[in-house]
Each structure stands twice: as C-alpha cells, then as structure tokens.
Amino acid sequence: MENTIAAIATAYGEGGIGIVKISGGKAKEILDQIFVGINDKPLRNRYLTFGHITDSDTGKIIDEALVSYMKGPKTYTTEDVVEINCHGSIISLRKTLELVLRKGAILAEPGEFTKRAFLNGRLDLVQAEAVIDLIRAKSDKSFEISINQLEGFLSKKVLDIRKMLLELLIKLAVNIDYPDEDIEELSYREVKKSLLQISDMIEILVSTAETGRLIQEGLAVSIIGKPNVGKSSLMNALLRESRAIVTEIPGTTRDTIEEFLSIKGIAIKLTDTAGIRNTEDTIEKIGIEKSKESFNKADLIIFVLDGSNELSKEDREIIEIIGKRKSLVLINKGDLEQKIDTKQIKKLIPEAKVIFTIATEGAGINAVEKEIEELVYGGKVRQGESMLVSNVRQKNLLEKAGLAIKEAIEQTEASMAMDFLEIDVKAAWELLGEIIGETFSENIIDEVFARFCLGK
C-alpha cells in the first residue's frame, strides 16, 4: 500500500483560510484521531463538517476547522482525500500539519499529489509533462533552500548529534560483525548513557524549532536604506517598542536586527539592515554584507529615504539593486523641510507605492501596515512556501529520530540484543542525515576499519 501523504495545499497569504490536504489509505483514520466535530457530528463522505482540530496527546485545541472527507476513487489522487480548512495563520496550519504527520502521514514530496493523480490514471499525457516540470522546479528550489540552511545553527547541531550516533554505530557494528576480535564488549550502561545524551540533544532541537528560532517562518520583510534615514525608527514604530538602537551617528546599526511581528494576522520576519554605504570600517562592512544577504532573501523590501535631503548617489545605487523586486518606498522625516523630488523617485522605481512617514512619531505607519496587508492578501507578495515545507520536514525528521532513539533506550532497558537496538540507532542516524542531505551508510563501515584493528 502507498504511504498516506500530507501537505499544506494553499499558498500562504492568498486568503483568510489555509488547507491541509491528506491523501492515502490512512487519511480518514488520521482525521478521526485529530478532529472532534461540533456536537459530535459524524463525518460524512463529501460533506463539510465543522469542529476542532485537537491534539489528543495534550488535549489542546489547535484550531477551529471545516473538514471534508472524500472517499476514493473519485478524487484528485483517486485515493481517499481529506481537506482540513484552517484559519490562515501560518502557526495553526503548521501545527495541524505536524499533528497529521505525527499520526502517521508522511510529508508529501514536491508535486506528489499531482504525481499520484497521474500514476493513478487521473491525468492525461499532456498534463504529465507539467508534472515533471513541477517536480523538477520544486525539488530544485527546496534543494537550494536546504543548502542554504546547511550553514546554519541547525546543521551544526545535527552534525554534532550524528557524530555521537556514528561513534555508537561503529562500536555496535564491530561488536556484531567481529565477535572473535580482541575488542571490548559494549555494555548496556555505556550504550544507554550515550543514547540518553543524544535523546536530550534532539529534544532541545525540537523545542527550539517550536519557539521559532529554527523555523523562521513568516513573510520576510527587509528594511533598506542608506545610514541615518530612520530605518531603526521605522522598525521601532512597527514594533511599537524600542529595541533597535537609534542615534544620530550614521552607521549605528552595524548588524542586522531581526524581529518577528504580526500585522493584521500576517506573520512577518522584519529585518533592519545596516545602512548600505561605502565604508572602510571592517565591522560595518560585515554588517553591510549581512544586509545584502537579508535583502536577497526578502519577500518584500521597504526602502527608506530621508525626505529632508535630495536623492543621493547612494540612494540611486540602492534603487538599482532593488530593480524589479517587490518594494515599498517610504519618504521619512516628513517633519523636516522636504527637499526630495518625489516625481523623480516615481520615475526611477515606478512599480513601488510611495508612502510619507514620520517614523519617530509613528505617523504614516498605519498606511505602511495597510499596504503590506493589501500586497499579501492581494497575492502580490508570497512567502517562499518551500521554505515552510522544508521547515516542517526538518522538524518532522527530528521528531522521528527522537522516537527511534527512545525505542533504542527502551531496548537497552529490556536488555534486548545489541543488534536490535542498532537498527533504531541507525534509523535515527539516517533520519538526521536526511536533514542535511547525507544518508550514505558506507561511512560507518569505513570508520569501523579505520578505528579498529580487524582481520583474519
């Protein structure tokens, strides 16, 4: 039987609701475990039912939802399909998806619903061509993203844990495959000790994912502009609290500052960049590099100009960098005498909406928020959905690895033979490998020979 797959089916930001879609033999079984209908109404094939998505392990309600259950084969994939309509908040969508995965579904690969529809005879040959493009495009994109994340915090931690797992696997492999050799026998105490340590490390990573340090989701908005035009004041105004340092000396914000906030229900990751200008200061240079990086990853750019000065050479350079990227232009310092030529700006960057603000007083901030809202709900700006997918995927893999280690610990407690627990330890090692794109098990064998003196 095919696995049951699940994914968030709607692009974020396009409407007030989001859909988690499940397809496969276990779709209904999973729904039954997580959905409580209002007044205990039973689910009916092809009817919408209102109720709550509930985490049965904690008893917590995750979201109100309208769910539909469509029995195969007359569905898109020809399999049993469940659609859960949640509120559009990215948090509730993610939580719902995670719950579905925990109950036995597997995260759908890019284009997998369509692939199944095709393989099960639902789509015609012309459509099939599109499926190939879809798989190609989406997997390349998620590949790119996982590569990006390789540099980060997550991959370092995962590498650390895998190193410990590898140590253990090598010892287990030698004990199993070379019973005659002059090698210290592995004790349950020793194995359990390192398993507990590994389990803790995984648990910490999972909870980090929960608090959002790992899963940095939300619309990526980057504030850009040359030094001292009021970027930090704008950030503060949006946050309505003073966190970024604001001074009169250009170049104070030397590092990028990230904040998470919610505007009209839209999760936003706001990055205040160091002012971009030519500089000899090394620390500041680093800041500028980081600004450019965050700028490159942004879904939306807020370009801040100082209205009390004329458009400078540096401003024009920034406009050039922005090019056709989705952006808002803020003309700040409206309380001072205006020298900037608004018409010229509109000519240079015609697609951007221009808004006047006095960031230090919070004036014009409402207009900024309204504009962001319109852009998002109008579907003009979209968060990279593959980023979200890869995050859910990573957390899912972490959780599975944690479970495998827990099973291995239980086996040490039951004094099960070492070769049984080796299976779970190896599974955890492979799951973590999937996060960073390494699963080749040959290196265990390589290490065995490098580490131990074996031979006939």
Partner 1 sequence: MKQILMEDYNVIVIGAGHAGCEAGLAAARMGEKTLMLSINLEAVAMMACNPSIGGTGKGHLVREIDALGGEMGINIDKTFIQSKMLNTAKGPAVHSLRAQADKVRYHEEMKKTIEKEKNLDLKQGEVIDLIVEEGQVRGVLLNTGAAYRAKAVIIATGTFLRGKIFIGEWSFFSGPNGLSASIELADNLKKHGIKLRRFKTGTPARILGSSLDYSKMKEQAGDEKIVPFSFMNDELECEQVSCWLTYTNNKTHQIIRDNFHRSALFGGQIEGIGPRYCPSIEDKVNRFSEKERHQTFIEPEGRSTDEMYIQGMSSSLPEDVQEAFYKTIPGLENAKISRPAYAIEYDCIDPFDLKINLESRQIKNLFCAGQFNGSSGYEEAAAQGLLAGINACLSINGKNPFVLDRSEAYIGVLIDDLVTKGTNEPYRIMTSRAEYRLVLRQDNADLRLTKRGHSLGLVNMERFAKFSTKTEQVEKEMKRLAETIVFPNQALRFMEKNVSTPLQNKISLADLLKRPEITYDKLADIDKDQPKISSHAKTQIEVQIKYEGYINKQIKQIERFKKLEGKIISQELDYSKIEGLRIEASQKLNQFKPLSLGQASRISGVSPADINVLLIYMERERRRGK
* 135 forms part of the interface with partner 1 (CB under 8 A): yes
Distance between CA 90 and CA 389 in Å, rounded? 12
* 447 forms part of the interface with partner 1 (CB under 8 A): no
* 128 forms part of the interface with partner 1 (CB under 8 A): yes
Distance between CA 145 and CA 155 in Å, rounded? 13
Number of C-beta neighbours around residue 152 at 10 A = 11
Distance between CA 279 and CA 56 in Å, rounded? 57
Q: Name the one range near partner 1 by CB under 8 A: 267-275, 289-297, 316-324, 446-454.
A: 446-454
Q: Name the one range near partner 1 by CB under 8 A: 105-113, 292-300, 309-317, 379-387.
A: 105-113
Number of C-beta neighbours around residue 104 at 10 A = 14
Work out which of 39, 125, 323, 350 binds partner 1, going by CB under 8 A.
Answer: 125
Q: At 219, which amino acid appears?
A: L
* 336 forms part of the interface with partner 1 (CB under 8 A): no
184-211 b/e (C-beta count within 10 Å ≥ 16 → b): eeeebeebbeebeebbebbeebeebbee
Name which of residues 3 to 32 contact partner 1 (CB under 8 A).
Answer: 3
* 445 forms part of the interface with partner 1 (CB under 8 A): yes
* 419 forms part of the interface with partner 1 (CB under 8 A): yes
Contacts of 130 (CB under 8 A, 6+ apart): 114
Q: Name the one range near partner 1 by CB under 8 A: 109-117, 309-317, 325-333, 336-344.
A: 109-117
Q: Name the one range near partner 1 by CB under 8 A: 36-44, 205-213, 333-341, 410-418.
A: 410-418
* 287 forms part of the interface with partner 1 (CB under 8 A): no
Q: Name the one range near partner 1 by CB under 8 A: 29-37, 180-188, 198-206, 337-345.
A: 180-188
Residue 124 or 280: the one with the smaller Cβ distance to partner 1 is 124
Work out which of 50, 153, 260, 449 binds partner 1, going by CB under 8 A.
Answer: 449
Number of C-beta neighbours around residue 341 at 10 A = 12
- Look at residue 311 and give its three-state secondary structure: coil
* 456 forms part of the interface with partner 1 (CB under 8 A): yes
* 289 forms part of the interface with partner 1 (CB under 8 A): no
Q: Find out whether 377 and 13 touch, Cβ atoms under 8 Å.
A: yes
* 423 forms part of the interface with partner 1 (CB under 8 A): yes
Binding mask 181-210 for partner 1 (x = CB under 8 A): xx----------------------------
Instruction: State the burial class of residue 348 (Cβ atoms within 10 Å of its Cβ: 0-12, 13-18, 19+).
Output: middle
Nearest approach, Cβ of residue 155 and partner 1 (Å): 19
CA distances from 176 to 180, 413, 439 (A): 10, 19, 21
In whole angstroms, what separates CA 198 from the centre of its chain?
A: 24
Instruction: Give the binding site for partner 1 (CB under 8 A).
Output: 1, 3, 109-111, 115, 118-119, 125, 128-129, 131-133, 135-136, 139-140, 143, 173, 176-182, 416-420, 422-423, 441-442, 444-445, 448-450, 453-456
